[in-house]
Structure 1
């Protein structure tokens, strides 16, 4: 990914990691188009920062089709898509009441990226240099007890990224997987102040430094996430699972 010249579409960039990366990419020279569900917020961010903006609901297949066509029509040079939008919700699978929440997570975190890739894949292959940026999580490698479907959705994104990289080999499209640790955002209640979460600016700055140093990186791994990402490789999986869940305020809750 060329952070100085690419034209990048980031659905889910009206706050948190998505917005932090959008601001940094634009500051380095990229053309940035943000997407989100709230038109007023999109308009405000576009006016304030000079972003392109397109309304999109990544849980709605028709919205994805319309928004993707709109992006390609208005910015035909778009050559990078960052699949940023996602939700994280606690569940208790010991009761069947978990099902509606699990389905909503899968719709957003699994089907959303699949549908976005389907909407852009032909266009991206027509560009001389293109990037699909998937967004998984450290929890793709080590599970957090209160969020089983989120953990599973991010494990899916990790293996999807690995598989697509094989399929796109020899084409103009590369696949880069962004793997965040816990970051101080509003993804979960209380996470913006969580002492064990990485400050958002620190995370975004480290991501940009990695992309600048290695534009063809397969995985973008900040130092903080390597504790989770390589737990099994180090032979410390069980220990890290125990540490992660002992430190989580929901881990002992029934």
Structure 2
């Protein structure tokens, strides 16, 4: 009986600790977002006069009106176009690369897979100058097309790593049955492997989509004109050389984060399924 009581006490203590840590993490994660939304409804100098953690005197909507009347929708359209094209290319290339790495028993597969995974350790910032020079030579500088290549290239290593492991968990008996029925490799890939890989592809789409939507370094380096900027660069419209409208910048950031938050709310089930589906073999 004593051992049972001790185990129950340990279980209660562990669950209590887990709940406390979970609430602490929720608080740390939620506070910046609450701070951003709360201060986006303040007037320009209200933050300096009253403090950043005090509630606004009234819900000032002028910040959002100014943002929406500016170039926000142009930036939104550019970000959406880059996101859709980059994700489509990334998922197709990743699927085509992961299938042979997961199924073909060739000597080159293991070192090639190791080389692709090793590319995850390359910092993005050390490639800014080479990529900038390459885009200048290709006459793609200051265009939204210049962002698609780097986004796809830097998304491939982690995507191949995840999707290869996922495809390895797909039962080989399904492919054997399809081969007996006369199904070739290409047809098998498009008719069987891709449909079964939808949870993994959904996970990759959400993971890479959030990164591409919020990416700043390449967008700042490879674009210059207002017509080719993406949403992360929208804050520059409200930042001058000697001053900046902080509440309006927070309004821009709120509107920028809103699409990804909505997408995650509706796609969180697919994200969880994709992360756990490859954990069980067979």
TM-score range for the pair, normalised by the shorter chain length: under 0.3
TM-score by length of 2: 0.23
Q: State the TM-score, normalizing by the size of structure 1.
A: 0.25
* Larger strand proportion of the pair: 1
Which entry has the higher C-alpha Rg, 1 or 2? 2
Higher relative contact order (CA 8 A, sep 6+): 2
| Structure holding more helix per residue | 2
